[in-house]
Structure 1
Amino acid sequence: MPDDAALFPGFADLVVVAPGARIHARVGGSGPVVLLLHGYPQTGAMWHPIAARLAASHTVVVPDLRGYGASVCTDDDFSFRAMAADVATLIERFGGGGDLAERPGGGSGDDSHGDDKAIVIGHDRGARTAHRLVLDRPELVERVALLDILPTTEVWERMTPEMIRAYYHWGFLARPEIAEPMIAGDPVRFLHSALVGLYTPLEAFHPEALAQYEEAIRRPGVIHAICGDYQAGATVDLEHDAADLHLRPDLPTLVLWGSRGMVGAEADPLEIWRGRLPRAEGRAIDAGHFLVEEAPEETWAAIEEFLAPG
């Protein structure tokens, strides 16, 4: 398990058992519950620029998605539905806020506060997980923030030549029989190319966070999870999304995207998201894809405003 003390001062590292997974999570602060969900090819360490600030007024839960980082998938299901179910387990486990010391350690959600809602903030694959959670378990989500994504179905439909060059990994990783052995040959080089290939310089990443991403990608189980995630994104996730296109969850929604990336290059992200989440508001951030780490102050300001009472 990684040592997060430098990135998440005052947070505790816990493992929560969910159906089909053992989820490593960093937990700190007290008050209303906020979950911070990371994306590819990272871990929850990406949230270090804002987690401590949020913990001043919230209970902050920062998991690694199943199979990523220090979390383990035990049933080989990497769909967003499975990832959203893991997040639901965490919300039920940590619902009610309060001090971390007041909560029993470990467990699988037996101390659930079933009526509690959480704020869910996701980036990249974590944002897709957050969207799926809103569709599957809307009673658990008070408000949601989606960082630098369009809906999964929209991405596949908009695979122009420019998109294919930027998002080549969507097809490559969806073929695990090809991708897994190729990545395993030089996993750190692949990680670095994945990070800088999405319009964010390598220097933008905190050295300790980058070291955690490098440590994780070296593990074959993580490579398998990444490929399983994208394979699901090209198959079963599309089936789930197509079945739920009629749903229009009515909750406060923040949409942020990097002005130098592809999300807003060919479409208006707000217009698209308002077709799925009618109360979506937001704007571009002066950054590439990894806006939390490249533009932490601007990203934090937008999130802080979104969470402000009234």
Structure 2
Amino acid sequence: MLKTILALGLLVFAAPAGAEVPDFPASFETQEITTNGATIHVRVGGAGPAVVLLHGYGETGDMWAPMAADLARDHTVIVPDLRGLGLSSKPESGFDKKTQAGDVAGVLDALKVEEIDLVTHDIGNMVGFAFAAAHPDRTKRFVLIDAPVPGVGPWEEILKNPLLWHFRFGGPDMERLVAGRERIYLDRFWNEFSATPARFTETSREHYAKLYALPGAMHSGFAQFAAFDQDAIDNRAFLAAGGKLTMPVLAIGGEKSFGPMMATVMRAAASDVTEGVVPDSGHWIMEENPEATTKMVRAFLDKAN
């Protein structure tokens, strides 16, 4: 798992001339939904069955723009920024994934949406798992992409990977170290976890670095990781009480990142798991191979309908 990434250098590659961060379709609207002790920035567009897209660390809901444009042809697409990240509020607490699953439920309640398909990446996987476990009646299908889930499957072995040093990096002194140097810190992730770092363009790097330099954003990011021990306790309790998830699950890994390990993780926690691998991609699937990722997600959602 992730072994091919070890050979990657840390050079920053410039984007091709004219490259831009993809925009959501003009038909999408944004809302600020206050719920569960946070104000969540949400993009909503399209019409049809609802699908929620949850981002991870190092990006925001903006990462999903190409997939959202495709799915909006026949879905209502809901794209929040997780609490503390992007344009959502930066509360001092509530970064355990069980609480953030409550954020998602509150957003859906505000939008009067009862049932969803759920597509998640990185930290979004963890929030999505907590939501699906707490609200199986509201989760029709669940797609998880390229990140482990605390306390699930080979979690303890995954933690031993030296590339995951940042899981234990945090606290006030670390925040002071990265203040004003957010781009340096984030470049390390974008480079180390890419199969081809140049595909995480300079324009995207600048865009996300500015969002993570907002007051409270780096604190919130560190808090996402600091909550993993509690998340593991909560997830084991979910599984002990309710058993494995029963909705159809698609577990996707980047070919040069998690690969089939994503399905291995989810088979420990779900009874109906389909394996998927995004070719020619590392961890940043929507930067490195958005076309293949979108096609794989759409095929799963369409097949299950």
* Shorter-chain TM-score above 0.5: yes
Q: Who is 1:107 aligned against?
A: none
- Cα distance in 1 for partners of 2:109, 2:60 equals 22
Aligned alpha-carbon RMSD (Å): 2.1
Query: Is structure 2 residue 6 aligned with structure 1 residue 8?
Result: no
| Distance across 2 between alignment mates of 1:190 and 1:211 | 13
In structure 2, the residue corresponding to 1:152 is in which secondary structure? coil
Number of the residue aligned with 2:156 = 157
CA contact (8 A) 1:78 1:228 kept: yes
**For residues 41 and 206 of structure 2, what CA distance do their matches in structure 1 show?**
17
Partner SS for 1:158 = helix
Q: 2:144 aligns with which of 141, 146, 158?
A: 146
What is the deviation of 1:20?
Answer: 1.1
1:293 Cα deviation after fit: 1.8
Report what 2:254 is aligned to: 258
2:99 equivalent to 1:59: no
Aligned position for 1:192: 187
Deviation at 1:209, TM superposition (A): 3.9
Correspondent of 1:204 among 193, 199, 203: 199
Shift in Å at residue 23 of structure 1?
A: 0.3
1:146, 1:298 → 2: CA distance? 15
Helix, strand or coil: the match of 1:226? helix
Give the fraction of aligned pairs with identical amino acids, expressed as a percent: 29
Q: Aligned equivalents of 1:59 and 1:66: distance in 2?
A: 22
Is 1:88–1:140's contact at 8 Å kept on the other side of the alignment? no
Partner of 2:3: none
Distance in 2 (CA, whole Å) between partners of 1:157 and 1:47 is 30
What is the Cα deviation at residue 212 of structure 1?
2.7
Deviation at 1:270, TM superposition (A): 2.1
1:293 aligns with 2:292: no
Q: CA deviation at 1:118?
A: 0.5
* 1:13 partner letter: T
- Is the 2:30–2:44 Cα contact (8 Å) retained in structure 1? yes
- The 3 A distance-change label for structure 1 pair 134 and 205 is same
Select the structure with the greater relative contact order (CA < 8 A; seq sep ≥ 6).
2
8 Å Cα contact 1:7/1:208 also seen in 2: no
Letter in 2 for 1:125: I
Corresponding residue of 1:270 = 263
C-alpha distance in structure 2 between counterparts of 1:82 and 1:19, whole Å: 8
In 2, are the aligned partners of 1:45 and 1:209 still within 8 Å (CA)? no
In 1, Cα distance between the equivalents of 2:174 and 2:270?
Answer: 34
Give how far 1:199 is off.
2.4
CA positional deviation for 1:159: 4.2
The answer to whether structure 1 residue 167 and structure 2 residue 164 are counterparts is yes
In structure 2, the CA distance between the partners of 1:5 and 1:260, relative to structure 1 (3 Å rule), is: closer
In 2, the alpha carbon distance for the partners of 1:17 and 1:212 equals 25
Amino acid across the alignment from 1:139: D
Greater Cα offset, 128-137 or 183-192: 183-192
Name the CA distance, whole Å, in 1 between partners of 2:296 and 2:205.
24
Q: CA contact under 8 A between 1:21 and 1:75: conserved in structure 2? A: no
- Cα pair 2:42 2:81 within 8 Å, conserved: yes
Q: Distance in 2 between matches of 1:277 and 1:155?
A: 14
Normalising to structure 2: TM-score of the pair? 0.85
User: Structure 2: where are the runs of 5+ without partners?
Assistant: 1-19
Shift in Å at residue 157 of structure 1? 0.6
Q: TM-score, normalised by structure 1?
A: 0.84
- Return the match for 2:298 from 298, 304, 309: 304
Residues 93-125 of structure 1: CA deviation (Å, up to 9, x unaligned): 23xxxxxxxxxxxxxxxxx35xx2011100000
CA deviations 1:234-254 (Å, max 9, x no partner) are x21122122123321210111
1:6-37 alpha-carbon deviations (Å, 9 max, x no partner): 61022112111111110001111111111110
Deviates more, 1:34-43 or 1:207-216: 207-216
SS class of match (1:142): strand
**Structure-2 change in CA distance of 1:207 and 1:63 (3 Å):** farther
Give 1:178 shift. 3.3
Query: Which deviations, in whole Å up to 9, do the C-alpha atoms of 1:204-244 show, x marking residues without a partner?
Result: 235554333111111231001001111101x2112212212
| TM-superposed deviation, 1:127 | 1.2
How many pairs are equivalent? 280
Q: Which runs of 5+ in 1 are unaligned?
A: 95-111
Shift of 1:5: 9.9
Q: Which residue of 2 aligns with 1:40?
A: 57
2:275 equivalent in structure 1: 282
In structure 2, do the counterparts of structure 1 residues 194 and 283 end up closer, same or farther at CA, with 3 Å as the change threshold? same
Matched residue type, 2:131: L
